[in-house]
Each structure stands twice: as C-alpha cells, then as structure tokens.
C-alpha cells in the first residue's frame, strides 16, 4: 500500500514504518495503525482500526499489585492478636540504649557575661549545663540581642567544644553577635539534641600538664601546655578549649583550638596554645577542657 495515504489518529503524523503486512508504526508517537483487508503494496482499505500503544500498562499493573499486597500486609500486622505482645511503654531507641519517650534532653545556659570589641561585635560567654537525664550531643544555643522594646535586632549561635555532655556536666560556650545596632536585653534559645548512639560516649582519658598562663606580648593572655593521652587507644580530632574567669567566677575570655598532632597514640602528648585577645583585666583563674575521639571504637 502507499504509506503516504495513512495518517496517525493520535498525532496526525504521516510518517510510518511497516512492521508487518497490516501493521504500521507511527515514527512520531509510536502508535500502531492496523489496516484490515490490505496486502502489501495495495491501496488502503477504508476500514481502519487504530491500536494505541500501551507501554504504560505493565508498570501500572505492577504498581497496583504492589499497593494491594502492601495494604493486605498492613492489615494483617495491625490485627489484634496477630503478633507478639508489645509493651504499653513507648520508648525511643538511641543506639544501644532505650530512653523513655517522655525524657527529652534539657540544658541551661547561665552565668552569662559579655565583652565588646573595637569593631562593635559583642562576645557572650557562659556555662552550659546538662540539667536533664539524657546525654546531649554537641550543645549549642542561639542568642538574640533585643532592643528596649523587646524587638530582636541581631542573632548569633554558639557551640560547645565538647561533643557529648552527660547529665550533670557543664561546659563553656561562646556566642559572637556581629555589631548589633543595640543590645538592651538578650534572649537565649536552647537547642539540646540527644545522641544517636549512647554506647560509646566515653571520652578518652587525657591529662593536661606543664600548663602556664602568661601575658601576651601583644594583647591579652595566653595559655600554653601539653595534652597527654593516658588511654589505651589512639585518639583523633583533638580539640582544646580554655576560659579565663574573674574573681566573681564570670568568664572574661574564651578560646579553643584543634591540636595538630593527631592521631595521638597511647602515652604520647601534644603541645597546645590558646590566645585570649582583648582581655585587659588580670584573670583570677582559668579552666581547660578537651574533646576527641578514638580512632577505632573501643570495646
């Protein structure tokens, strides 16, 4: 037959590929046109029937079957008495330890002090304490500077140097707010999060030694010393943090730094240096802490 006399009923295309004596495929949309009572090379019969391409039929049937099976399985699982007894106490799984769902992590940011630099930035220092019964991972807070009407003017976020804070423990946090227009009051938003795992929260045992607090030759103070690994495994991601306090226990300086000599093998040590720039008053005391991980999970 003359293919030029055919026209696709789906896209009106006129270009076809003959795939059998009576079947022609449209080269544009792929629909099949069947010419009944025709022979190759003969004129097209006036009686024509179009068979649409059903390439989507198999995926649709498979999806329908999947939905039916899933619904049936869910009904069987929810049917009373069809499975093992379940405790009425709802628990949240955290690693290898179950914490009751009602026990959420709780923290407190208190004894807050502030210091402003020559650029107008304000540094806020304070202690963050785990007041709950659930460990807190990487304590963090958001602090807002507010106007005298209570309107939020600027914000900053601070993180603890400690990776995990167990119930009752506390750690210092510093928050930097970049040159707020005013700061008559502050608002603190606590964001405690429970760790995903509670089976390996133990910190490696480390010791500070040969620690010295000295006046910096430029501005402020410096703390130098060594951090020794007293544990049975090598450690990595070693970080040291230090604070300076006045006679009233208020934090007047904070700095933290990652130790370059990592991983640190058992019995080995690494020197560290902390700089407290802009601290003009003589500190009454200082405090140091660290955070790190075992290179391999300890049993």
Number of domains in the chain: 3
Q: Tell whether 164 and 237 lie within a shared domain.
A: no
Look at residue 197 and tell me if it is in a domain. no
Closest CA to 251 of 223, 272, 279: 279
Domain boundary among 51, 71, 90: 51
- Residue 184 maps to which CATH number? 2.60.40.10
pLDDT value for 180: 94
Residue 75 within a domain: no
What CA–CA distance (Å, rounded) separates 96 from 105? 17
Q: Are residues 179 and 211 in the same domain?
A: no
Q: What is the pLDDT of residue 102?
A: 58
In this structure, is residue 101 part of a structural domain?
no
Residue written as token pair 């309107």: 151
Contact 47, 37 (CB under 8 A): yes
The span from the CA of 161 to the CA of 291, in Å, is 7
How far the first Cα of the chain sits from its last, in Å, is 81
Report the DSSP pairing between strands 170-177 and 122-130: antiparallel
Instruction: For residue 31, give the nearest of 45, 58, 15, 50 by alpha carbon.
Output: 50
Task: Tell whether 237 is covered by a domain.
Answer: yes
In a domain, 80, yes or no: no
pLDDT at 230: 92
Task: Give the integer Cα–Cα distance in Å for 229 and 33.
Answer: 81
Note the pLDDT of residue 55: 47
Q: Is 70 within a domain?
A: no
Same domain flag for 240 and 185: no
The answer to whether the CB of 121 falls within 8 A of the CB of 105 is no
**Ramachandran category for residue 163: left, alpha or beta (phi over 0 → left; psi -120 to 50 → alpha):** alpha
Are residues 215 and 274 both part of a single domain?
yes
Calpha distance 164→168 (Å, rounded) = 12
Domain that holds residue 10: 3-51
Furthest C-alpha separation in the chain:
109
The count of other CB atoms within 10 Å of the CB of residue 276 is 21
Query: What's residue 121's pLDDT?
Result: 94
**pLDDT, one tens digit for every residue, the chain (299 residues):** 555 567 776 666 777 788 888 888 887 677 777 776 544 444 444 434 444 444 455 566 666 666 666 555 444 444 444 333 333 222 233 333 445 455 889 999 999 999 998 899 999 999 999 999 999 998 999 999 999 999 999 999 999 988 889 999 999 999 999 999 999 999 999 989 988 766 567 788 999 999 999 999 888 999 999 999 999 889 988 999 999 999 988 899 999 998 876 789 999 999 999 999 889 889 999 999 998 888 875 55
Q: What CA–CA distance (Å, rounded) separates 153 from 167?
A: 33
pTM for the model stands at 0.61
């Amino acid at each position: 037959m003359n293919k030029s006399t055919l026209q696709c009923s789906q896209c009106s295309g006129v270009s076809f590929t003959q795939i059998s004596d009576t079947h022609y495929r449209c080269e544009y949309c792929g629909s099949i046109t069947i010419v009944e009572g025709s022979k190759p090379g003969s004129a097209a019969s006036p009686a024509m029937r179009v068979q649409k391409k059903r390439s989507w039929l198999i995926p649709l049937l498979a999806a329908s079957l999947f939905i039916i099976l899933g619904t049936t399985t869910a009904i069987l699982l929810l049917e009373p008495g069809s499975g093992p007894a379940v405790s009425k106490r709802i628990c949240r799984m955290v690693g290898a330890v179950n914490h009751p769902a009602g026990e959420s992590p709780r923290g407190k940011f208190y004894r807050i002090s502030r210091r402003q630099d020559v650029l107008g930035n304000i540094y806020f220092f304070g202690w963050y304490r785990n007041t709950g019964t659930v460990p807190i991972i990487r304590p963090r807070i958001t602090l807002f500077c507010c106007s005298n009407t209570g309107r939020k003017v600027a914000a900053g976020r601070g993180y603890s140097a400690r990776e995990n804070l167990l119930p009752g423990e506390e750690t210092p946090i510093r928050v930097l707010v970049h040159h707020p227009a005013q700061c008559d009051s502050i608002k603190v938003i606590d964001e405690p999060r429970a760790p995903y795992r509670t089976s390996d929260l133990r910190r490696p045992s480390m010791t500070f030694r040969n620690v010295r607090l000295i006046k910096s030759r430029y501005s402020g103070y410096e703390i130098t010393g060594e951090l020794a690994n007293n544990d049975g495994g090598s450690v990595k991601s070693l970080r040291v943090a230090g604070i300076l306090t006045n006679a009233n226990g208020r934090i007047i300086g904070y700095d933290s730094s990652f130790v370059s000599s990592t991983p640190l093998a058992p019995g080995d040590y690494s020197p560290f240096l902390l700089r407290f720039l802009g601290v003009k008053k003589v500190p009454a005391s200082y405090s140091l802490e660290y955070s790190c991980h075992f290179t391999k999970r300890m049993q």
